[in-house]
C-alpha cells in the first residue's frame, strides 16, 4: 500500500485552529540556579481572539485551547536529567547521564 504525504507550507495555514497539536514546555530558573519544568501535552487551539485597549495601550491575542495532559512541575537537575520524572534532557539517546557526584556515591 502506498502512502501519500502532503507537507504543510507556511502559506497553507490561515487560522490558528489549523495547526497540528503540539507540546508546550515551560522552563523556570532562578538566580540561585534552581530550575524546574512543566509540560503541557497535545495542545490543540480551538479559537483565537484579539483585543485592543485604549486606556493602557495594550494589544493582546488570546487563544482557547484543550490539551491531552499535563506533566506537573518537577525539579530539574541542571546536570542533564530530570529528577522524579521520565523525561531526559540532553543527548536524546535515552541513556541516563551521571554527574561527578553520582559517580562518587553509587
Q: Which of 47, 27, 45 is CA-nearest to residue 37?
A: 27
Q: pLDDT-derived band of residue 16, with 50, 70 and 90 as boundaries? A: confident
| Separation in Å, CA 60 to CA 30, 42, 51, 56 | 27, 24, 5, 12
pTM above 0.85, yes or no: no
pLDDT at 104: 39
Q: pLDDT-derived band of residue 105, with 50, 70 and 90 as boundaries? A: very low
Amino acid at each position: 500500500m502506498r502512502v501519500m504525504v502532503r507537507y504543510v507550507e507556511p502559506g497553507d495555514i490561515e487560522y490558528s485552529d489549523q495547526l497540528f497539536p503540539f507540546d508546550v514546555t515551560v522552563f523556570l530558573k532562578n538566580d540561585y540556579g534552581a530550575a524546574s519544568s512543566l509540560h503541557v501535552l497535545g495542545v490543540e487551539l480551538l479559537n483565537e481572539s484579539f483585543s485592543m485597549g485604549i486606556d493602557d495601550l495594550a494589544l493582546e491575542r488570546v487563544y482557547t485551547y484543550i490539551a491531552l495532559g499535563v506533566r506537573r512541575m518537577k525539579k530539574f537537575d541542571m546536570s542533564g536529567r530530570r529528577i522524579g520524572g521520565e523525561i531526559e534532557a540532553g543527548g536524546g539517546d535515552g541513556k541516563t547521564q551521571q554527574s561527578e557526584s553520582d559517580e562518587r556515591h553509587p
